[in-house]
Each structure stands twice: as C-alpha cells, then as structure tokens.
Structure 1
C-alpha cells in the first residue's frame, strides 16, 4: 500500500492517460476518497520529493492514500501454480504458433486447430473453444479468422529505468505527472517508490516518460533499443522535478523497453471474435483480448473470467461494461 498522486496543469488538454480534471471526475463519480492539493505549495508540502521551483503555478494534485504496487512476478507465479494444481493445464514451452485454422459453421458448431512448431517437433491442438490474447502480434494471429488490423493500429516501444535512492527520509509516492501544455503525451511522466519485492528493487525507484519516439506498424520493425533521445529528456526532467537529496538522479541504471499494442482509439479490445469487421456474427466458442500493455495486469482475474464466459456462454454479466472495448468498433479491422 502506498500514496498515489496525480498532479499537473489544472486545465491541461487530454492525453492518452486523460488529465487531472478527468481523474478527479472519475474519482468523484465512483465515490473514491482522495485529498485535493490546490497549489504547487500544497504539493511540495505534502511530498517534498518534488521541487517547489519545478512546479508551474497552475499545478494541482489528487492524492489517493489507498493505492498500491502489485508484485507482478509473484502474482503471475501464484496464478500459474493454482492453474497447474487443477491438473487441467498443459503448457507448451519453446513452441511457436505456426497456424490457426477454424472449421465448421462459424456461428454454430465451430472447432479450432492450432499448429505449433519447436526445433524438434510439430503439434496440432484441436478444441471446441478458443481464447486469444496475442498482444502486438494480433494481426498475424487474427488473419486466419479473416480479420486484419487497420493501418491505424500502432506498436509503441516504451522506455524505463531505475535510479538508486539516496535517503529514505523523504517520502516517495507512486506518482503520475500531467505536464503537457497541448493535446499530446509529451510532458507525461511517472514513477514508483522503492519496493521490497526482491533485493535488487529495495533501494531503487523505477521512473519513465509516458510517451515514445519509437512507433512501429508491425512486429518485424521492433528493435528493443533504448531511445537515447527519450532517456535524455527523461533524465533532464527528473533532475529538475525531484529532490536530489532523495534520489541519485545522475545514476540511471538498467534502462529497458516494453511494448504497447495501441488500437486506433487507444482502448483495449475484449469480446467475442466477429467473422467479419463490425459484423454481429461471431465465431462460436471464441473470444479475444488485445491489451495496450501489461498495465491492465491487475484485471487479469476479471478478464480471464469474462473471456471464458464469452467463449463458453457467448455472453457475460459484465456485458454493459465491455461495450466501450467491443471488437465491433469502427476502424479496428478490415
């Protein structure tokens, strides 16, 4: 558990992540308690880790005291262990999926065959239900089902790094800054406090920019190289924003990259699989989820339930909540 602060320009335009006023409206609508910081002075007083002189005069903040960081590795291990104990899970390691083939009438008695290849072996797995969660490889996975992502889908290669903590006397919250002055993501930054999930994390903070200069059209273009341009901008911003007495801001460590699958409208896709773009006819016993990234990991148990319900029953009690993420949205597939 830890404090989370959203802060930035009071009336900034929307970014991919929204803005401070939108976050406030959402919290009010959901009756989520928060502390409103109405000035840069209030932000600095609450969290001295942010330098007062770096905060513009129109900065405000929202502090949610009941936030938390999730140990993703431990949680994933627990999910996997629980699934294995059922005796109903088979995992193919070091296999690449080489093909997907539906058979039968799409909206009636559908069956599916998945072809997988390793260095020594080839397999065909057949089943009556199919759940796809292909991430940035969605286009090649969905092509055999007659769906092709439009050119407006993009792959964002994001960057991150770690910095050593100099002093634990200054409290470091989970934070997200909406520092943009126009309607783009430049100026959006975030960071985490030191976490004790493993020894290497205990005295370091992870921080990043929430924008990128590496945008790809298909996976073959991915290079996994850290953007020196972005990291220079990130380091320069952090050296101004943060208290140097709390963090060794000159010692960036373990920079890396990760991938976001960005739909044309920036929202994830979760639902039954249509037989054609925008069609109300669906493949029987099949569902899919294409997420922006691992950021929605905390919803994995709920998404798993929904995907199973959609594949087996063709519907879910959460249907009204899923409409905004519908695979039938215009502009997703052609």
Structure 2
C-alpha cells in the first residue's frame, strides 16, 4: 500500500440509507472507516429523504422475505441502541387485482416458506376491518400484521450518527472521481479533497454507479426515473391514524401504495415505477401533473373522500437494476470493490442490507443468502470497448 495516503480498512461511497448503514456496521465491527457523500448529508437528490417508508416482510420471493426478517431484528437492535422508536407497526395489506402481474400466491408461498404469519382476506372482510377502502369483490388481499412504517430521514441520520460514534469519518460535499484497484491489494479513492486508500471499497452510489464503474470496464444497465408521492389532507384525519389504517399496496395494471397519517394529519400515496425516465443531471425536481392526476383519480375510487385535497407532491429518484434485483456483490474483476444497489425497493431492508455490505467488506463473507444478487452477467464489458 502507498504510504503517503491515509489508510482505511473500509471506504464507503454514497451516504444514502444503504451506504450509511454499511458505514455504521463496518465501524461497529471495529474497522477503520471513511465514507464519502458528493452532496450535503440528508440531501434530496437521491432516494433516501422525506418522511415515511413502508417496512414489510411480505414479498414475492422467499429470499427477500428472509432478508426482511433479518432486517426486523436489526431494526430492533437499532431501537435498543438508540432508545428511538425506529418503526411504527400498522399492519399491512397488499391488494391483488385480477390484472396484477404478480399473483397473490407468490406472496403467500414466500411468506409460508419463511414461517411469517399472514391472512388472506376477501373484499368484504377488508371493508369490515377498514371501511376507508372500497375495493371490488374480485380483489384478493394479503394481510401481514408485522408491516409498518420507518421514518426515512431519521433512519439515515441515526445510522450516520452511530457510524461517527464508532469512529467512522464521514465526508460530505466530497464527490469521488475514481476508485482504482491496486495490484498489491486495496483501492485508491480520488476526491477533490485528497486521495485515500482502503482495503475494501463499498459503492452505494445508486444512479451514479456507472461513473465509477466505467474506468473499470464494467457497466450495470440501470434505468433511472423521477418518481413522486403526494400528501393529501383527508376530511377526517382521525380516521386515518396508524391504529386505524394499515400501510397498503395495490397490485394491478399499475402499482400504487400508501400510508396512514404519520407525523402530520395527512395521508401519503404514490405510484411505484412510473417510467418517468431521466438522468440525475436531467432531473427537474418538478412533479408531473399527469402522474398526480392519475394518482388522485385512483385514490378517488379506491379510498373515497370527496373533500380530500392534495397538499404537496415530493419527488425522488428510482434506480432500477435488471429484473429489479438487488445487487450485493464484489466485482469479479476487482473483488476489493463491493457494489450495493437496492433497485428502489431496499429501504425496508436497510439495516440488514448495510450490515451485509459491511460483513462482505470486513469479514469477506455473510450468513445471509445473497446468492441471487450478484453482478448481472450483462454488466461486464469488454475492456477494449
């Protein structure tokens, strides 16, 4: 290793929720950690800001259910360490319309395989329990009592604070221009504020991943889009409190999702995966009136409330991997560089996701099953291109 650069065990690039988690868990394991964020900490340019995120074990594939179960243990540990309530349990429902591309059986089989309690409800039972919903009789509903809400901003800032408390150095407003593997081992990290060296580097850079992979002759074909959520003021906010309404997901031609009142007398809803494609450089932060109209029209039928009004719409950024699979893996050509991409559905797994990245960097292995989340075969480019 070059002696004129400060040496670290682990460097993390990107301090959204996944990178912040990786920095914390690596530092907790006793590693000397440095982490870089190109913008200010807690910025709004990525996918980890704002208030609420749904947490749930329900998922279409058992490997995601298994990681979610591990994440719940990690969330509980964070609550024990900090004294904060990191999660608010509300229960959760996933509605499967006949046109849903994902059948309800995918969810129930995965939950059953991991011994997670659930119920399958018909429309009448849903309306009896939660009269706020008005769903057709041909909709199948899967209910999981362990679902709920995590506070996005609080989660990120808490992980960063914990990382610092264990000695991690967090550098904000410090873009990383290049990561270069060394023949002797380790990686050199180049920034406008100096060069650093680490035994392992974790790239949690989301939409910016290929800027750092390109010099390594690797490209992961991600799609980036601007998404949005809207906060509505209901006529009677008390009917939408967390003890009266679960978090919900609608699986139909489009996927919509939403929350009960959380921290303010509003309800929040959005469409998942709206195909509003862009690059980080092209992002306007201006919401789409067409998507807002589509969402409001859906909500008017799904959760009728004639006096409900939209208060504000917030944008965020989705980075979608091939088949929307997680990527948690070292690079084949540069194993000291570990990639972590959450495919715009990782917040619910955040503590476990960050812990696994840290385990790979510090221990070289993890007990979690990440066998299906390697670097896509289509990602490796010919070095001559």
- Structure-2-length-normalised TM-score: 0.70
| C-alpha deviation, 1:237, in angstroms | 1.0
Question: Does residue 21 of the first structure (1) align with residue 105 of the second (2)?
Answer: yes
| C-alpha deviation, 1:260, in angstroms | 1.4
Q: Which runs of 5+ in 2 are unaligned?
A: 1-88
Which protein is bigger by CA-based radius of gyration? 1
Pick from 195, 219, 225 the counterpart of residue 262 of structure 2: 195
Matches within 5 A, 1:166-185: 166-167=235-236, 168-169=238-239, 171-180=244-253
Q: Which runs of 5+ in 1 are unaligned?
A: 181-185, 197-201, 276-282
| C-alpha deviation, 1:266, in angstroms | 1.1
Pick from 193, 197, 219 the counterpart of residue 148 of structure 1: 219
Question: Does residue 8 of the first structure (1) align with residue 77 of the second (2)?
Answer: no
| C-alpha deviation, 1:240, in angstroms | 1.5
Q: State how far apart, in whole Å, the 2-side matches of 1:195 and 1:230 are.
A: 23
Cα deviation digits, residues 246-298 of structure 1 (max 9, x gap): xx43x2122021111111211111111121xxxxxxx24331201212x4223
Q: State how far apart, in whole Å, the 1-side matches of 2:245 and 2:114 are.
A: 26
Q: State how far apart, in whole Å, the 1-side matches of 2:340 and 2:152 are.
A: 19
Pair 239,140 (structure 1): closer, same or farther in 2 beyond 3 Å? same
Q: Secondary structure at the match of 2:218?
A: coil
Contact 1:272 1:314 in 2 (8 A): no
Question: Does residue 262 of the first structure (1) align with residue 320 of the second (2)?
Answer: yes
Number of aligned residue pairs: 289
Pick from 202, 205, 210 the counterpart of residue 131 of structure 1: 202
Q: Answer 1 or 2: higher relative contact order, Cα 8 Å, separation at least 6.
A: 2
Question: Does residue 297 of the first structure (1) align with residue 347 of the second (2)?
Answer: yes
Q: Secondary structure at the match of 1:91?
A: strand
Q: Secondary structure at the match of 1:141?
A: helix
| C-alpha deviation, 1:114, in angstroms | 1.5
- Structure-1-length-normalised TM-score: 0.80
Matches within 5 A, 1:103-142: 103-104=182-183, 109-117=184-192, 122-142=193-213
Contact 1:213 1:230 in 2 (8 A): no
Contact 1:37 1:60 in 2 (8 A): yes
Partner of 1:307: 357
Cα deviation digits, residues 122-166 of structure 1 (max 9, x gap): 31112222111110111101112221234xx21122111101132
